[in-house]
Chain A
Amino acid sequence: MICLIALVVAGFLGIFSVSYRRIAIDAFNCVFRNITFRRCTSGTDIKLKSHITGSLLKRSPRTARFVRRNFEWISWLFTLLLVGSVIYSGISIYNLHAYGNCNGQNSQEECILTLDNPEEIPAHCTGKVICEDCSMEQCGTECECEEGKSCTNE
């Protein structure tokens, strides 16, 4: 089961890091052998477990023991958190692309993701507003102006 979790987690993290890619390949081989009714011989689960336990052992033997004993549950928890994060990130990226705001249509909430589009910023605005002409009605408080200029309030 650890191999399956490792495949999901390392498979995703492997997009960004070569070391995770290696773990993902090992985990894939293990899962593949399992689903073809053969014994997994890569030892991926033990490698991961011992690496994490060993790293924790230096700092806190108690935590190491807890993690070792509950390794599978903890792995599941982190997998679910990862899957949840990936889903929410996907939704946010879609919102940003479709509505220019990661929180969705008509949302006024702060969004950490922004679409930088400097070509569409009016010449008299210095901020990140995307308006044809910077007006308070169109852009609200997002409208920022250069020094000595003011926004129209239509």
Chain B
Amino acid sequence: MFKPEKIREDFPALQRKIRGKPIIYMDSACMSLKPIQVINAINDYYVNFPACSGSRSNHELSQEVSERIKKARKIIKKFFNAPNNGEIIFTRNTTEAINIVAKSLNYDKSKVLTTDREHNSNLVPWQVLAEEGKIKHEVVKSKTDHSFNMQRFEKMLDNETKLVSIVHTSNLDGYTTPVKEIIKIAHEKGALVLVDAAQSAPHKEINLKKLDPDFMVCSGHKMLGPTGTGILYGKKEALEALRPFIVGGDTVLETTYTSHVWEPVPQKFEAGLQDYSGIIGFGEAARYLSKIGLGKIAKHEEKLKRILIEETESIQELETIGNKNYSGIFNFNIKGINFHEVAGILNAQNIMVRSGVHCLHSWYNAHKIEGSARASLYLYNTEEECIKLAENLKRIAKLA
């Protein structure tokens, strides 16, 4: 039985009161809150074994660090049901993971395809490479209902396509791209596929064995983990074909003054001393989410979104942004009131949402929308909170 009230007890930030009242946190698409189990795991490193890993030193504390990192990697692999020929590389975030692929691929074929609703993290790296003349970057435009245009994609996909780098669930509206089909079609044409799962990994089950992407990236901080953590998953053969671009300590087995021998995957991509406490915390976050069950979390968010839609239906001034679906993202504008103002007024009621263009400048510019306010839901949000948000939106709409 999924009980958000019980889950909330694990989150110290939700026990806080501001202006004497509890907070309603609805900005999880930007940053999720952290359960005490994750905080304790991070602390555990600093209190009990704050040392280098065993790849550098060989004492008791180092061995413990190595063991915990290995365990975290294993938990995360299991969390995504990664195949045996897949490997997890720890990064600082999704952006870094995408950049590793972008900068390390051998562009024997030049075309890279993305959608028209990519976060800047999955847009700018390709734009830079295109400016440098290394690739040809093309954008697959969505249908008028903001869903993925499969026909257009198939037309644009050709034998020159090296990579399809595609968002899984959009931070704009929570729309989920049909990646399974996209991956199948791309593979038939000999293209690699990178799935940006920053917004899907925290909210729905991702089965890498079934999806079969070549690369998958996500961030720890959106899935109850610490800030500064992320992963790049890759099939071993795809990872081994990459030439690492951040190199140095821990990436090599051997060096002379004129040569070096790479460590195997994943070490050759994890340059320098790693964020050990963060990785351990990330592993704990994945364990916590697995224990609750991603399926239950997805259902809970769907229920909350339905409540929000029903409760706000009567607000004529309210305009939702993007595709209409039942994910945990509610992106909206209120006619006559600036989106930053809406977020500010909600903040005065202790309701925390994000406002702006949500790192999707390209989409907002293309649609001539200045910005919007976005409430993003997660496992700790309740029905009462959604009703409170809707009530406040009704009041705000009357201010126009």
Interface residues of A (CB under 8 A from B): 43, 46-47, 49-51, 53-55, 57-58, 61, 64-65, 68
Contact = CB atoms under 8 A, between A and B. Distances in A.
B341 A46 contact: yes
A47 B395 contact: no
Interface in B156-187: none
Given A46-B338, A50-B343, A61 B398 contact: yes
A57 B342 CA distance: 12
Contacts of B398: 61, 65
Interface stretch (B113-121, B307-315, B344-352): B344-352
A-B residue pairs, 10 tightest by C-beta: A54-B348, A50-B344, A54-B345, A50-B341, A46-B340, A50-B345, A65-B399, A46-B341, A68-B399, A55-B348
A57 B349 contact: yes
A58 B347 CA distance: 12
A46 B370 CA distance: 15
B352 to A, nearest CB: 12
Given A50-B348, A55-B348, A57-B348, A43 B395 contact: no
Contacts of A58: 348-349
B75 interface: no
30 contacts: A43-B340, A46-B338, A46-B340, A46-B341, A46-B344, A47-B344, A50-B343, A50-B345, A51-B344, A51-B347, A51-B348, A53-B341, A53-B348, A53-B399, A54-B344, A54-B345, A54-B346, A54-B347, A54-B349, A55-B348, A57-B345, A57-B392, A57-B396, A57-B399, A58-B349, A61-B395, A61-B398, A61-B399, A64-B399, A68-B399
B399 A50 contact: no
Most B CB contacts (10 A, CB to CB) among A49, A50, A58, A68 go to: A50
A59 to B, nearest CB: 11
Given A54-B349, A57-B349, A58-B349, A49 B396 contact: no
A54 to B, nearest CB: 2
B317 to A, nearest CB: 13
Interface of B: 338, 340-349, 392, 395-396, 398-399
- The SS class assigned to the A binding surface is helix
A84 B396 CA distance: 34
Nearest to A50: B344
Contacts of B345: 50, 53-54, 57
Nearest to B350: A54
A50 B201 CA distance: 34
Nearest to B343: A50
A50 B347 contact: yes
A103 to B, nearest CB: 41
A68 B399 CA distance: 7
A58 B399 CA distance: 13
Contacts of A55: 348
A85 to B, nearest CB: 27
Given A57-B345, A57-B349, A58-B349, A50 B340 contact: yes
Most A CB contacts (10 A, CB to CB) among B338, B344, B395 go to: B344
Nearest to A46: B340
Contacts of A57: 345, 348-349, 392, 395-396, 399
A43 to B, nearest CB: 6
A55 B392 CA distance: 12
Contacts of A51: 344, 347-348
Nearest to A55: B348
Contacts of A47: 340, 344
A52 to B, nearest CB: 8
B396 to A, nearest CB: 7
Nearest to B351: A54
Nearest to B344: A50
Nearest to A64: B399
